[in-house]
C-alpha cells in the first residue's frame, strides 16, 4: 500500500525513478526501456519529455510504463535525440495528472523540463513566498517550486539560474533537467538521493539506479557526486 507521508516509519524511502538520455537516435524509446527497469521505484504514474532541437514533446499518464509507453504512436510523438523520464511515487501533492512528471515550462532562457526524485523540506515556505510575488502554480508538487525559482532568478544564464534556485532549496533530491542548451543532472549536497551516469557509444545516460543502465546496454561511468551538477552539451561534459 502506498503512503503519502515520508515520515510514517523509520525506513529510508527512495521514492520516484528518473532516467535521461542525451544524444541518441530514438531517445524516448530508450527512456521508456530505462523506466521499465525503474518501475519498482514508482508505480503511480509515468512521463517522458523529449527535445528535437526545435520543440519539446511530452506524454504523461497515470499507471505503469507498460500500457502507456509501449505503443508506437506514443513513442513516435516523442521525437528528438534527447529525453528524460520519470516514474512517480507520490510524497507531496495529490494523485492527479497535473502532478505527473517531467514538469515543463517556457522560461525566458527557453524550454525547461525537470524530472525530480526526492523531497524539498522548505517547499511550503518557498511556495508561499513565490505566490506572494506573483507566481502561478499549475500543480501541487514541490517539484514546481524549482521551476519557479529558476524562472524568477536574477541571474542571466540558465545554469546560473538553476544554481541560484538550488541554493534556496533544502532537502534530499536528484534532478535531471532537459533544456534547449543540453541536459543537466545534479544531486543534493548530502547525496541522499541516488543518481548515476553511464555511456553507450556517444550517448550519455543518467539514471536513479545502475539496473536501468544495464537494461539499455550502457556502461556505468560513475555516480554523480553529492552537490555536483553535470552539464552535457554537444560532445562536452562539464562538472560544477
Q: Give the N- to C-terminal CA distance of the chain in Å, as an integer.
A: 39
Determine how many CB atoms are found less than 10 A away from the CB of residue 208: 28
pTM above 0.85, yes or no: yes
- Which tens digits make up the pLDDT trace of 137-190? 999 889 999 999 999 999 999 999 999 999 999 999 999 999 999 999 999 999
Which of 3.40.190.120, 3.60.20.10, 2.60.40.1250, 3.40.50.620 would CATH assign to domain 17-239?
A: 3.60.20.10
Determine how many CB atoms are found less than 10 A away from the CB of residue 143: 24
Determine how many CB atoms are found less than 10 A away from the CB of residue 178: 27
Distance CA 113, CA 99 (A): 13
Q: Which residue has the higher pLDDT, 14 or 139?
A: 139
- Given a cut of 70, is residue 124 above it in pLDDT? yes
What is residue 1's predicted lDDT score, i.e. its pLDDT?
Answer: 34
Strand 82-88 versus strand 17-22 pairing type: antiparallel
Distance CA 122, CA 169 (A): 7
Distance CA 218, CA 185 (A): 17
Distance CA 41, CA 38 (A): 6
CA 106 to chain centre: 16
- Decide if 16 is catalytic: yes
Q: Which of 14, 16, 109, 175 is catalytic?
A: 16
Nearest of 105, 179, 110 to residue 146 by alpha carbon: 105
- Given a cut of 70, is residue 114 above it in pLDDT? yes
Amino acid at each position: 500500500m502506498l503512503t503519502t507521508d515520508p515520515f510514517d516509519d523509520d525506513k529510508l524511502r527512495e521514492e520516484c525513478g528518473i532516467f535521461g538520455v542525451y544524444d541518441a537516435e530514438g531517445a524516448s524509446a530508450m527512456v521508456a526501456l530505462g523506466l521499465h527497469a525503474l518501475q519498482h521505484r514508482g508505480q503511480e504514474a509515468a512521463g517522458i519529455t523529449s527535445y528535437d532541437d526545435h520543440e519539446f514533446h511530452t506524454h504523461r499518464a497515470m499507471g505503469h510504463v507498460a500500457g502507456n509507453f509501449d505503443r508506437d504512436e506514443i513513442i513516435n510523438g516523442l521525437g528528438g535525440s534527447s529525453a528524460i523520464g520519470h516514474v512517480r511515487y507520490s510524497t507531496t501533492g495529490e494523485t492527479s495528472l497535473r502532478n505527473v512528471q517531467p514538469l515543463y515550462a517556457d522560461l525566458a532562457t527557453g524550454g525547461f523540463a525537470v524530472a525530480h526524485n526526492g523531497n524539498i523540506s522548505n517547499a511550503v515556505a518557498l511556495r508561499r513566498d513565490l505566490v506572494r510575488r506573483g507566481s502561478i502554480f499549475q500543480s501541487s508538487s514541490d517539484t514546481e517550486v524549482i521551476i519557479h525559482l529558476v524562472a524568477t532568478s536574477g541571474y542571466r544564464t540558465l545554469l546560473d539560474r538553476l544554481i541560484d534556485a538550488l541554493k534556496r532549496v533544502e532537502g534530499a533530491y536528484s534532478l535531471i533537467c532537459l533544456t534547449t542548451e543540453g541536459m543537466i543532472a545534479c544531486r543534493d549536497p548530502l547525496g541522499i538521493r541516488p543518481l548515476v551516469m553511464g555511456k553507450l557509444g556517444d550517448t550519455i545516460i543518467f539514471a536513479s539506479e545502475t539496473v536501468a543502465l544495464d537494461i539499455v546496454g550502457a556502461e556505468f561511468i560513475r555516480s554523480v557526486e553529492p552537490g555536483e551538477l553535470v552539464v552535457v552539451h554537444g560532445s562536452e561534459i562539464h562538472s560544477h
